[in-house]
């Protein structure tokens, strides 16, 4: 009976994290570039438990020579194996701003953090810093180290990442540099830093550099931002399933408590 209580408790804890993850997805539906998270579960097993040994001893008295699986292990509930990030591309949202860009496909922009470490962004709204450097809205400088000279009125970013500018409609275009992209063998293993930034981990592997639009890299779309890849219907369905699973575990706790109460009253 106590095992049933503990098993139900693992189910309640796991579904609580599931609901919290879904809640965060729904809260960020309007956040540009947000990537939804998904909880993965794994079953727990007690190896060689006392109850299993007892059951195995009883089974040994039977005519069968094959050991029952129940004599070796008992289910012990559920645990969260991982909370993975889905990097499916969100819907393109047109803004018309020359400093807005999205990556249509695989790839990340590499930025330099204030402490000198590397981080990776899916794009979004850029800005020109006071020194002319092209940065993210939060002020992280792009690894490409592109500087926009004073007096430039027009700025274009090509599908291949080439950045050009000109001082007036009559002036010639000046090429300022190119924005390279990087990708990962397992982008789901990237660690989120918040604010649309990620960093590498052992699970993600090292970054692979390339040119936008080539060798599997996505292309760059200027004047667009990537919307969140959260689908309202999918999240609602997941929320209902998590709620039903939580309720089922609660029912198990209630049933176990009633059975324990009956056992306590046997001597009456």
Mean pLDDT value across residues 59-76:
58
112: which 2 tokens? 């330099």
Reply yes or no on whether the pLDDT at 66 is more than 60.
no
CB atoms within 10 A of CB 42: 11
Tell me, what's the pLDDT at 52? 47
Q: How deeply is 168 buried, as exposed, middle or buried, from its count of CB atoms within 10 A (0-12, 13-18, 19+)? A: exposed
Task: Give the whole-angstrom CA distance, residue 191 versus residue 238.
Answer: 23
Tell me, what's the pLDDT at 45? 84
101-146 pLDDT tens trace: 999 999 999 999 999 999 999 988 999 999 999 999 888 999 999 9
Tell me, what's the pLDDT at 63? 46
Nearest to 122 by CA among 198, 66, 188: 198
Q: What is the pTM of this model?
A: 0.80
8-64 pLDDT tens trace: 999 999 999 999 999 999 999 999 999 999 999 999 887 555 544 554 555 445 545
* 77 Cβ contact partners less than 8 Å away, ≥ 6 residues apart: 6, 7, 8, 9, 10, 11, 43, 44
The helix-helix angle for 232-264 and 2-27 (nearest 10°) equals: 160
Of the ranges 59-68, 72-81, 169-178, 211-220, which one carries the lowest mean pLDDT score?
Answer: 59-68
Tell me, what's the pLDDT at 4? 87
25: which 2 tokens? 């997805």
Give the distance, in angstroms, between the CA of residue 3 and the centroid of all CA atoms in the same chain. Answer: 33
CB atoms within 10 A of CB 52: 19
More confident residue, 171 or 208: 208
Tell me, what's the pLDDT at 28? 94
CB atoms within 10 A of CB 118: 13
Average pLDDT, the chain: 87
**Sign of the CA dihedral 207, 208, 209, 214?**
negative
């Amino acid at each position: 009976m106590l095992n049933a209580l503990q098993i139900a408790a693992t189910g309640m804890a796991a579904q609580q994290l599931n609901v919290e993850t879904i809640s965060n997805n729904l809260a960020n539906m309007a956040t540009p570039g947000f990537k939804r998270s998904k909880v993965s579960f794994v079953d727990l097993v007690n190896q060689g438990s006392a109850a299993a040994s007892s059951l195995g001893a009883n089974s040994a008295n039977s005519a069968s020579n094959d050991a029952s699986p129940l004599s070796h292990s008992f289910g012990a509930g559920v645990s969260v194996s991982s909370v993975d990030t889905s990097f499916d591309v969100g819907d393109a949202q047109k803004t018309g701003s020359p400093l807005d860009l999205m990556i249509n496909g695989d790839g990340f922009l590499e930025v330099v953090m204030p402490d000198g470490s590397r981080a990776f962004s899916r794009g979004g709204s850029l800005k020109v810093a006071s020194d002319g450097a092209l940065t993210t809205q939060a002020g992280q400088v792009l690894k490409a180290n592109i500087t926009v000279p004073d007096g430039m009125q027009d700025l274009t970013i090509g599908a291949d990442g080439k950045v050009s500018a000109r001082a007036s409609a009559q002036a010639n275009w000046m090429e300022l540099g190119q924005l390279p992209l990087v990708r990962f063998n397992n982008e789901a293993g990237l660690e989120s830093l918040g604010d649309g930034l990620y960093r590498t981990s052992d699970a993600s592997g090292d970054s692979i550099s390339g040119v936008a639009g080539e060798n599997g890299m996505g292309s760059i779309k200027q004047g667009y931002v990537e919307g969140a890849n959260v689908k309202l219907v999918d999240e609602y369905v997941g929320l209902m399933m998590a709620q039903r699973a939580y309720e089922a575990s609660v029912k198990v706790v209630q049933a176990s408590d009633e059975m324990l109460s009956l056992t306590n009253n046997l001597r009456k």
